[in-house]
Amino acid sequence: MKRVILASTSPRRRDILRNTGINFDVVNPSYDESIQNKSFSYQIIENTAINKGLSVSKTANKYSVIISADTVVIYDNIILGKPKDYDDAIRMLKMLSGKTHKVVTAVCLIDNETGNKTVKSETSEVTFNELTPDMIKEYITAFKPYDKAGSYGIQELSEDFVKEIKGDYDNIVGLPLKLVISMLKEADLL
């Protein structure tokens, strides 16, 4: 089996991939992924996932497969990336309060031996309850979600925050595991 490399700085993605039992290494991608406040298209986030993977493939062993991903929160067709600061996190959570938004993760698989790239995306929906200013401030103070798209981590939210989830929960956390396994199998890498 080829060496598997997860091209990610996200501890959440590492935890999800560990659940597969696959042995893998982690290499931080060197790609600027700032796409916040742009109009959403699958091509934008899929290109980001590809470029993250390519930045790692340049220095990776020839006999490796690189998994990279990009997760974004979409509200009103605008990409909400990682918040710049406390005030930006408040702004985003106020925007999502009482509303339904989408969480999209693009996953890229690169076979470093052949150069073959596969990219697929998963979309889930999250509906928040009405959030009070105190709920928002307490969450940001406790969890400091500055490394999370949309200013939140679903796994940290109390049931007071979330009204409904449609779709893959792991996708909302940051790595749609079923999709990753399917892609690895399709590429005969699992």
Residue 125 · residue 165 · CB < 8 Å: yes
Instruction: Round to whole Å and give the CA distance between 155 and 175.
Output: 13
Residue 144 · residue 129 · CB < 8 Å: no
Q: What are phi and psi of 59, to 5 degrees?
A: -110, 0
Q: What are phi and psi of 138, to 5 degrees?
A: -65, -40
Residue 24 · residue 56 · CB < 8 Å: no
Catalytic entry in 25, 32, 70, 87: 70
Task: Based on the residue annotation, tell me whether 70 is a catalytic residue of this protein.
Answer: yes
Catalytic (active-site) positions: 70
